[in-house]
Amino acid sequence: MAASAALALGLWQALVVLAGLPPFILPGPGRVAEELWISRALILEHAGITVAEVLIGLVLGAVLGGVSAIGLAASPAARRLIRPMMVFSQAIPVFALAPLLTLWLGYGLWSKIAMALLIIYFPVTSAFFDALMRTPQPMLDLGRVMGASPLRLMWHIRVPAALPGFASGLRLAAVYAPIGAIIGEWVGASKGLGYLMLLANGRSKIDLMFAALIVLAVFTLLLHMGVDRACRRWLDGRAVG
């Protein structure tokens, strides 16, 4: 991984030098690193806002997605009524809704949280729901013969059996949620990394833009790793040997 990063930085620097690109088109990695250090307080302040938006969006998305998936799996009527709506809603480009969300929820955190939530809701719900509908038949048979009520069957067998599916939904969500927050910030914000990037771009401070972008990418990577590790620990020791 270190070698790969070194190669990427080398290619980047080579491109800048060989093509003779000026810093206001593409600054080299050294210059971006310098800017990252100089503007660290500014970047950190904006990063804090974006991190808060993403984390709140992620938690809400996980909870809402989880509850929706269980509701859909429990009720055939809900599946008939709500599932087509959910699938249709995926035909609407979520990005197109960003201006509306800003209109409805204002320039603050909530329009970005809502954007992150909208982006991750479907993958989380869908991954968990699919897993809930694929409970191994022998377990369902067992529950049936043991006289389980549908609710207890859900709680003691179907939900725990579907948690790996929920976890893969959450891993996807960890990557998607920052995209939602940034889109939200682009459309209308006065804080956050997305806002900072637009601002820097408008003032031709491309080195600052890259610095913010790198912080965002590192955060997304760490978030994905964190969620992945948490899911692994959570599901630890469940594999049937």
Partner 1 sequence: MTATAPALIIDGSASIAGVPLFGPLRLEVAAGRITCLLGPSGVGKTTLLRLAAGLDAVTRLTGTIATSDGAPVEGRAALMAQGADLLPWRDVMGNVTLGARLRGDRPDIARARDIVARMGLTDHARKRPGALSGGQRQRVALARTLMEDRPIVLLDEPFSALDAGTRAEMQELGVRHLSGRTVLMVTHDPFEAARMGHAIMILTHTGLETVTPPAADIPRPVDDPETLAVQGRLLARLRVPA
Residues of this chain that interact with partner 1 (CB under 8 A) are 136, 138-139, 141-149, 152-153, 156-157, 160-161, 163, 235, 237-241
Provide, rounded to whole angstroms, the least separation between the CB of residue 76 and partner 1.
Answer: 15
d(CA 180, CA 187): 11
**C-alpha span between 202 and 223 (Å, rounded):** 29
Shorter beta-carbon distance to partner 1: residue 85 or 236: 236
In terms of CB distance, is 45 or 141 closer to partner 1? 141
Choice between 133 and 148, CB closer to partner 1:
148
Task: State how far the alpha carbon of 165 is from the alpha carbons of 126, 135, 172, in Å.
Answer: 9, 11, 11
Token pair of 98, please?
A: 């960003």
Spell 186-224 as b/e; 16+ CB within 10 A means b.
bbbbebbbbbbbbebeeeebbbbbbbbbebbeebbeebb
How many Cβ atoms from other residues are within 10 Å of residue 31's Cβ?
17
CB of 61 to partner 1, least distance (A): 24
Quick one: 22 or 136, whose CB is closer to partner 1?
Answer: 136
Question: Residue 226 Cβ, how far from partner 1 at the closest point, in Å?
Answer: 22
Shortest distance, position 159 Cβ to partner 1, whole Å: 10
Closer by beta carbon to partner 1, 146 or else 225: 146
| Nearest in space to 207 (alpha carbons), one of 7, 5, 25, 58 | 25
Cβ 228 to partner 1 shortest distance, Å: 19
H runs (alpha helix) in 75-188: 76-89, 98-105, 109-132, 137-145, 150-153, 159-187
Choose between 4 and 149: whose C-beta lies nearer to partner 1.
149
Shortest gap between Cβ of 170 and partner 1 (angstroms)? Answer: 17
